[in-house]
Amino acid sequence: MPRFAFTIAATDAAARTGALAMRRGTIRTPAFMPVGTAATVKAMRAREVAASGADILLGNTYHLMLRPTAERIARLGGLHRFMGWDRPILTDSGGYQVMSLGSLTKVSEEGVTFASHRDGSRHAVTPERSIEIQRLLGSDIVMAFDELVALPADRDTVAAAMRRSMRWAARSRTAFDGGGEHAGRSAVFGIQQGGLDEALRGESAAALTEVGFDGYAIGGLAVGEGQAAMLGVLDFACDQLPADRPRYLMGVGKPDDIVGAVLRGVDMFDCVLPTRSGRTGQAFTRDGPINLRNAKYVEDEGPLDPGCPCPVCATASRAYISHLVRSDEILAAMLMTEHNVWFYQTLMADLRTAIAEGQVQAFAAAFLARYGGAG
């Protein structure tokens, strides 16, 4: 099995379907990565995540470096062994959480210092340290360290952060290449920045391409700009990145966001939405999200989503799950999360099939027309 090989099996306009072959398994694209923040996809066991159709999941560098620490996970055999997951894992760089969760954050050319959101302890993360943490975790796909700018922001602020991120990307690549055996079996992705500005995005893509990465992420979106603006960026951002490498839209998103992004050429996604929604009583359906706390579901004997292939829809009614949600039972979070993760994986499988059959535009139009919010 190669260290990393990306093949495109079929295209339909800008949409693509293919596969990333890695030593721990093949990732079918377009792919959605469930988020395993603290070495767990919340409310699910690893075998249940695999059964949903997930080929890869995301581990969170920031949270794992704080607890239980990357060094402890390494002593215990690495993240895969620690959490009982034998398929690929992508780890984020920690940059997003450092900026959004850490307090008293200071950014310099060297890196970022911050106070932990857990106990106020001080930490420093540089591109080199971020790569070291991901190596200790045993990540299959490593992300370059970057600087997040919440939108809206003025152009000078966005440009300065993007250019620093590009300098950090080069340092991240050097640190990754010095990783010995880990570098020989893993991959490293660079992260495009530049806000909503086409010229800045182009400058970022050129800098990343010059360094050279196994794949390229589109970062700095889903941070307050809204869906229309995000899709507007994807109209040009995808074409700025190498066509023969996977494109990963970080932190996205809602099902309709994903469909719109796939139509524009994105291959990989991650988001906490299916798991977080599952813990708060929201289920995703082809007719839109539904809130099981609503009174109209207390005697509804139908499944969460008629036609859904998941084990929850095969065995539990809306009425039963509504009862569990209203009673704050732990089982509610488990069943809702399992359904939502299956819903996302089924959507990705349907998109892959539609692209392969040259029907993605028709599939997307039908999906988006039906998906509107059922309450």
Could you give the residue numbers annotated as active site? 92, 270
Residues comprising the chain, all counted: 375
Q: How far is CA 354 from CA 120, 284, 289, 308, in A?
A: 49, 20, 23, 18
Tokens of 252: 């996205």
Axis crossing angle, helix 330-356 with helix 255-263, rounded to the nearest 10: 20
Burial of 211 (0-12, 13-18, 19+ CB in 10 A): middle
Cα–Cα distance measured from residue 157 to residue 167, given in angstroms and rounded to the nearest whole number? 16
Helix ranges restricted to H, 308-359 = 311-315, 318-326, 330-356
Angstrom CA distances, 184 to 26, 136, 177, 275, stand at 17, 14, 8, 33
Structure tokens at 271: 């988001």
Candidates 45, 42, 75; CA nearest to 60 is 42
Identify whether the C-beta of residue 327 lies closer than 8 Å to the C-beta of residue 281.
Answer: no
Contact 89, 79 (CB under 8 A): yes
**Closest CA relative to residue 133, chosen from 119, 144, 121:** 144
Whether 35 and 50 have beta carbons less than 8 Å apart is answered as no
Residue type, position 38, single letter: A
